[in-house]
Structure 1
Amino acid sequence: MSTHKKHPTRRRVLGASAIGVAATGAAVAGGTGLLSSASAATFGYKDDGSNYVIDTGASLVFKVSKSTGDITSLVHKGKEYEGYGGRHSHVESGLGASTVTIRQTGSTILVKAVHGAITQWYAARSGQNNVYLWTDKADASFTATRYIVRLKPGIFPNEGSDTWIEASDKVIEAGDVWKRADGSTHSKHYSGKRVIDYDYVGFTTGSVGLWLVRSNHEKASGGPFYRSLLRHSNDLGVGLYEILHYNQSQTEAQRFGLQGPYVLSFTDGGTPASSLFPANLDTSWADGLGITGWVGKAGRGKVAGVGLKGMDAKYAYTVGFANKDAQYWTKAAAGTGAFSCKGMLPGTYTMTVYKGELAVHTREVKVTAGGSTALNTLTLTGDPSAAQTVWRLGDWDGTPGEFKNAELMTYAHPSDARAAKWTGNVTIGSGSEAASFPAYMWKDVNDGILVYFKLTKEQAAAAHTLRVGVTTAYINGRPRVTVNDWVSAIPTAPTQPSTRSLTTGSYRGNNHTFTFNVPSSAWKTDVSQYNVLKLNIVSGSTGSAYLGPGTSFDCIDLLI
């Protein structure tokens, strides 16, 4: 089944040894991503008739097909790692007939493969066990933008939620979600990571590691919190992915142009060298290679902010930048909120400050080539948590993180045996209400959850605003509320991604707040009695069970 289609497929990640977390990526003792050039005497390439055979002068020899531009061989220290199921490593699902050329410039060998709107580049540098890759996509004639490195099965451990056993596990959804006999679920979608959380993905045996270090994703789409498949492993083959546009849970249109480099790196078992990470990678050596669309350091600018005023110390803040051509992000310093984002293409960007994953401030900012745009302290005024409430369930952070099953759902299916029951009526004031309230609600699964609460005499005499914040929805699922005998109107469906999300490890869509104006006549007049809020999922679309109309909650509160 093609993995670049609109409705994706299966897997998770092997823990800290498999996905590098950005915050801890500097811990790379033992990594050998960059090797000494002392062995570079054999650096060069030859033509075997069907492939360009490139010797890095270290421990890696790889081949690129002269007809398709696929990587057809990856031999490290004499052992072949590449290929499974009769297929090789390539952009998209393989370009097919392509024009492939090669040239050597000093200590760099560069391969160019052209097929219609896509140009794929590969580079080898003398003495390094790395392959540098770029993908240049001009238009939407291909449905997705991903590179898949296909590896032989049985070399690396088959462990984690993004791994499965085709010989014994059972498919439970769309051909790409699997359930094991113990009730655990597995899929290539179950990475459990956002883009901002990792620098690399891969596998290690302890004596050899094979890693794909991601690019800076400036031409990708979805922003810093986007979740997607990163790798997979089963008894038939292994894959590593660089996902630039996958059309799953996408909140943005895809961007076009040159993306990269991303780096395929062999090590002696350790993690890849931190010098290969997108924030650290020195790419000055690529400036004169003639890569189409390449913009070096001199053609880029930066934005720096003094700080952020009005932050909540309980949350991390991220500053994102986006326009139709590029996207970037950077973390704001705890306490001060100071931030700096470098290496940006010139242009005018929408700058968004996120509390957790919730946008709380936006403005425009202009970036110029070679320039630095300085911003004074920004005051955050868009945090809905600032409103006074009668009660609040969860918190406004753009995620369902406080609610039941939320963390598990980034690397498991809702039917997973480890999931707590999706039912969960709660009583305000009873303690641990948020932890008892389900992160997700579906029309066919747990519709009609109840929230019990009491009001004082003064509160019951007034109208109140009820806010229900959601992070995404599937097939237009959205909440309609009933308070005692009062029933709200059916709210308009906001724009949300059209693909699977809640069952493929992502709650990330377009954060939206539904506002319900509840009249004073709706409340119980006897203050000793509980008021009852009922939440139902409505939709004009049909589906069933976990693929029926549903939504993910951010926060629910009743304003004073």
Structure 2
Amino acid sequence: MYLLPLLFVLALRPLLVSAGWGYTDDGSNYVIDVGSKLVFKVSKNNGDINSIVYGGTEYQGYSGKHSHVESGLGKSTVTITSYTSPAYLIKVTVTYGTLVHYIVVRYGQNDIYLLTNKGDTSVAASRFILRLKANILPHDSSMSDFYDEGSATIEASDVVRNSRGDTKSKHYQGSNYGRVMDFDYVGKTTGSVGVWLIRSNHEKASGGPFFRSLVRRCASDGEDLYEILFYSMGHTDPERWGLQGPYILSFTDGDTPKTALFARNANWSWFDTLGIKGWVADSARGYVTGAGIVNMKPGYTYTAALSNPDYQYWGVAASGGGAYSIKRVVPGTYKLTVYKEEYEVYTTSITVTAGSATSLSTITPDSDPSDVKAIWRIGDWDGTPGGFLNFESTPYKPTYMHPSDPRLSSWDPGDFTVGKTAASDFPGYMWKDVNNGHLVYFKLTAAQITSEKTIRIGITEAFANGRPTISVNGWTSPLPSASTQGGTRSLTVGTYRGNNHIYSFSVPASAFLTDVAQWNILKITIISGSGTAGYLSAGISIDCMDLY
């Protein structure tokens, strides 16, 4: 007759183990205790997280700033709900106009799950900022996010030069973080405490797998960790509306975060019944499998990506045979793009249905410019300036340094001679006001000079409508139109990623020298009616150049 009460006690055991589990209302905040080492406060006025205490130490905040969505919301409706099924949970819901933000915790876990549903442009940015106190986490003065005291601003208010002459910015991420597809989390550890912000799957974000954006900021007053869901710097993708997340603030005892929390690994089924606006359960999703990719060029990573106005996904193809899979896809019609490194070499349209696989047969890329046999080629077609001057190896220095940084080689290395000069001596970036009018010397055979030739210059990004025009000996090309690129800074804030574009110039046979022993002279000139001066003059990021 004691069995039923015993089972009841066992069912309640988590609550009995930690009397701290739960929440209280102090009048201004909901004070939430996860029943372990983490206690935090959420403002009842605007949903800010204004205190984060882990292991008895306060980590949150500096200069009166809190951790929050965007740069902080105004007066909001903030409610709190506790659950005992499917697990012991607490959910805070913050409603600010058309934006709904959720803060969720599970019993005994030192993790804060965050989700944000943004409905329109009434809120400007799309990000979450974790504000951390200064001098709690470790710093190395060589790190790309460290600001030395006495740093001087050199561009806008967010690029500085420190006391050693090194340039620093919250935009520059260095070797640890680069493209979205390259990292699962951002953060640091003291060895005894780890503070991590684990990114979401970015299915409602913009920019695709290669998008680069700020993920952290450090200064003498404090530091930030970011989850960027839409950011206009160098952005060419439209903003997507709807639910972003979960992304997770995770505290550990010095370890890196649990891999089970990574978006590519996590089981989110326990969210299915929590009433999250815009939530799509795994059971209502489908997936894509690709049999393979033929004619893959050795040494390059191939990525298959899906996109439509509402969602984006990607998966890396196997190096042997090119098989790939893309999981947890919301049903719909998508553009499938296959990238050789970061260059689009194949596109098609596919439809994904719920609860099943969309199986694709072997793909043969049909848009790889390197398939054209060239007379000469500088670099290779991969959608990056990799291999060129200042991009000789990864991580590319201009992704974590301002172009003016003295650690970079001069952007004007001298003229280039085909067959003699290495690609690493050809500038990866060119600006109208910095290294314009670059010369390339080349020779042609008697047979080659008898017909028209094509010179192609591929770019991955352009700033201020920058584009190349050329002359060959005494012949000058027509002026090309600007490509479609992002409308804000790019080359100076650590990104070369824009829209790949090829400028093709038809050069008549009469332009070439008839003496095959002489060097033809190709001059590349960056033109634009936009931009200002120096590194903010019109510029381009170069992918490849060839003649055929």
Contact 2:49-2:67 at 8 Å conserved across structures: yes
Q: CA deviation at 1:370?
A: 1.0
2:171 alignment counterpart: 189
1:234 and 1:204 map into 2 onto residues whose CA distance is 17
1:296 and 1:37 map into 2 onto residues whose CA distance is 28
Letter paired with 1:129: N
Letter paired with 1:183: G
1:97 alignment counterpart: 75
Q: CA deviation at 1:542?
A: 3.5
Pick from 309, 314, 318 the counterpart of residue 333 of structure 1: 318
Contact 1:405-1:438 at 8 Å conserved across structures: yes
Q: CA deviation at 1:484?
A: 0.8
2:338 alignment counterpart: 353
Pick from 370, 380, 386 the counterpart of residue 385 of structure 1: 370
Pick from 141, 152, 166 the counterpart of residue 133 of structure 2: 152
1:326 and 1:161 map into 2 onto residues whose CA distance is 34
User: How does the TM-score come out when normalised to structure 1?
Assistant: 0.92
1:179 alignment counterpart: 161
Q: CA deviation at 1:232?
A: 1.0
Relative distance call for 1:40 and 1:320 in structure 2 (3 A) is farther
Residue deviations 1:235-267 (CA, integer Å, cap 9, x gap):
011100000001111111100001100000011
Unaligned runs of 5+ in 2: 1-13
2:418 alignment counterpart: 428
Residue 207 (structure 2) pairs with residue 236 (structure 1): no
Unaligned runs of 5+ in 1: 1-35
Counterpart mapping for 1:72-111 below 5 A: 72-106=50-84, 107-111=88-92
1:209 and 1:506 map into 2 onto residues whose CA distance is 28
Contact 2:149-2:163 at 8 Å conserved across structures: no
Contact 1:302-1:371 at 8 Å conserved across structures: yes
SS in 2 for 1:72: strand
Q: CA deviation at 1:431?
A: 4.5
Q: CA deviation at 1:42?
A: 2.5
Pick from 503, 511, 519 the counterpart of residue 514 of structure 1: 503
SS in 2 for 1:378: coil
- Report % sequence identity: 54
1:549 alignment counterpart: 538
2:351 and 2:477 map into 1 onto residues whose CA distance is 44
User: How does the TM-score come out when normalised to structure 2?
Assistant: 0.94
2:546 and 2:192 map into 1 onto residues whose CA distance is 53
2:254 and 2:190 map into 1 onto residues whose CA distance is 6
Letter paired with 1:435: S
SS in 2 for 1:444: coil
Letter paired with 1:428: V
Q: CA deviation at 1:164?
A: 3.6
1:130 alignment counterpart: 111
Letter paired with 1:450: L
2:464 alignment counterpart: 475
Contact 1:37-1:128 at 8 Å conserved across structures: no
Higher-RCO chain (CA-CA 8 Å, sequence separation at least 6) = 1
2:461 and 2:407 map into 1 onto residues whose CA distance is 23
1:498 alignment counterpart: 487
Residue 28 (structure 2) pairs with residue 47 (structure 1): no
Farther-moved stretch of structure 1 (81-90 vs 159-168): 159-168
Q: CA deviation at 1:57?
A: 0.8
1:8 alignment counterpart: none
Residue 103 (structure 2) pairs with residue 118 (structure 1): no
Q: CA deviation at 1:233?
A: 1.0
Contact 2:68-2:130 at 8 Å conserved across structures: yes
2:352 alignment counterpart: 367
Contact 2:317-2:324 at 8 Å conserved across structures: yes
1:166 and 1:345 map into 2 onto residues whose CA distance is 45
Contact 1:161-1:412 at 8 Å conserved across structures: no
Letter paired with 2:457: V
Q: CA deviation at 1:40?
A: 4.3
2:151 alignment counterpart: 169
1:245 and 1:205 map into 2 onto residues whose CA distance is 30
Contact 1:38-1:127 at 8 Å conserved across structures: no
SS in 2 for 1:260: strand
